[in-house]
Structure 1
Amino acid sequence: MFTGIVQSQAEVISITTESQLSRLVIGVPSTLVYKLEIGASIAINGVCLTVVEYNKQADNSYTIAFDIIDETLRVTTLGNLSVHDWVNVERSLKVGDEIGGHIVSGHVQYKSTLVRKKVTETNTALYFKCESPWLKYIFEKGFITVNGTSLTIGVIKDNTFSVHLIPETLTRTNLGKLNVNDEVNLEFDQQTITIVKTIERLNLSELTQAK
């Protein structure tokens, strides 16, 4: 589990593919590998991946390697990555950690496209496309995770929704680097999904009984 509070950006060092399995290697500061173990979970652009290897470099930074199966590449934007791209990184939640965002599973449900970007002196507004059936899980002032970043939903209109980024978010994450037509990973708030699905089942049950 994660909180959607990105801890660092990391540069993609290498991507190799063998036998329908891709290995992603990123470079991270030493602070991100404190008590890190092989098999631990780390969210990369909001995708929960398993650490398979990590190594210390000459400059005291580290590289971390992950193996990614074809299905994950298909349903997320990780298949779009290239060497020297920057990704959002978050270590998994530990008991007692502060939950600054909201509970996030790291299971991407939808790939969305940036359709508009509005930059002012104080904030940046991003507008993303979201089609049915996922649109029903989006509510103004509700939670959503974009590339692993916990954000509050702004305006919803014509199959799009907006989020607003303060300078700190722009500095900490890769969202400020997005351009129109770029794809992002979305994870919808699980509590919202549960409530919507429960209401749908109750309504269906009432209709069935009425017949």
Structure 2
Amino acid sequence: MFTGIVQTQAVVVDANNQGGVLRLALKVDQQYAEYLNIGASIAINGCCLTVVKFASTTEGDCVINFDVIDETLKLTNLGMLVVNDTVNFERSVTFGTELGGHIVSGHIHCMAEILSINHHQDNCKMQLALAKEWQKYVLYKGFVSVNGASLTVGEVDEQGFWLHLIPETLSITNLDNYREGDKLNIEVDQQTYTIINTVENYLSQQAK
């Protein structure tokens, strides 16, 4: 489980696809790898991945390795990563962690394409296109996880939704690195997802 509060950005040092499995190696400052264990879960661009190997470097960093399978590659933007790209990085929740965002599972539902990006003074307005079947789960002022960042939906329209990004969000996350036409990982709010599906299933049963 995660909070959607991105802790830092990690740098891709290797992204090698072998037989449908992406061998992904990321470099991060050592402080973000404290008490790390093999098998630990880390959200990378919002996708929950399992640590398969890690090692400290002489420069004070830690290189963490993950295996990303084909199903994950189909649903996320991880397969588009190349060396020197940056990814959003969040360790899993522990007891006593401040829940500053919202509950995030790390299970990506789909990707959204960036339609437009408008910078105005200190703010950034980003429009995302979302597949029709997922639009009902994204509500005005509701939560959505975008590349692992817990964000509030600014507006909704027929194509998807808008985000209003403050400078702090742009500096901590990798969202400012993306351009129109790029795709971002989306996890809709689990409570909204559950409520809507429960109501729809109930109404469907009543109509029979």
Q: TM-score, normalised by structure 1?
A: 0.96
Report if aligned partners of 2:22, 2:79 keep a CA contact under 8 Å in 1.
no
* Per-residue deviation, 1:127: 0.6
- SS at the partner of 1:137? coil
Residue correspondence of structure 1 range 14-53 to structure 2 within 5 A: 14-53=14-53
Distance in 2 separating the partners of 1:15 and 1:134: 29
* C-alpha contact (below 8 Å) 2:88/2:148 kept by paired residues: yes
1:20-66 deviations in Å (ceiling 9; x for gaps) = 32210011001111101111000000110000111111111111100
Partner of 1:167: 167
Equivalent position SS for 1:133: helix
What's the Cα RMSD here?
0.9
Determine the C-alpha separation between the residues in 2 that align with 1:14 and 1:98. 32
Structure 1 residues 168-205: Cα deviation after superposition (integer angstroms, max 9, x where no partner): 10000000111000011000000001110111122112
Mapping of 1:184-199 within 5 angstroms?
Answer: 184-199=184-199
Matched with 1:183 is: 183
The one-letter code of the counterpart of 1:120 is H
> Deviation at 1:76?
0.8
- Map residues 21-170 of structure 1 onto 2, 5 A cutoff: 21-170=21-170
Ranges in structure 1 where 5+ consecutive residues have no aligned partner: none
Matching of residues 6-17 of structure 1 within 5 Å: 6-17=6-17
Structure 1 residue identity aligned to 2:181: N
CA apart distance, 1:160? 2.0
3-state SS of paired residue (2:132)? coil
SS in 2 for 1:193: helix
Percent of aligned pairs sharing the same letter: 45
Q: Post-superposition, which runs of at least 4 consecutive aligned residues in structure 1 deviate over 3 A?
A: none
How far does the alpha carbon of each residue in 1:144-173 deviate from its partner, in whole angstroms, 9 at most, with x for none? 000000000011112220011111100000
Q: More displaced, 42-51 or 118-127?
A: 118-127
Quick one: distance in 1 between partners of 2:87 and 2:189?
21
3-state SS in 1 of match to 2:125: strand
Tell me what 1:204 maps to.
204
The whole-number CA distance in structure 2 between the counterparts of 1:103 and 1:134 is 18
C-alpha displacement of 1:122: 2.1
Tell me which amino acid in the other structure corresponds to 1:50.
Answer: T
The Cα of 1:19 is off from its aligned counterpart by 3.0
Asked whether the equivalents of residues 77 and 184 of structure 2 are also in contact (C-alpha less than 8 Å), the reply is yes
For residues 18 and 38 of structure 1, what CA distance do their matches in structure 2 show? 21
Greater Cα radius of gyration, structure 1 or 2: 1
Distance, in Å, in 2 between the alignment partners of 1:19 and 1:134 is: 31
Superposed CA offset, 1:102-159 (max 9, x none)? 0000000011100010111121111100122111101100000000000000111122
Report the Cα distance in structure 1 between the residues aligned to 2:71 and 2:110, rounded to whole angstroms: 13
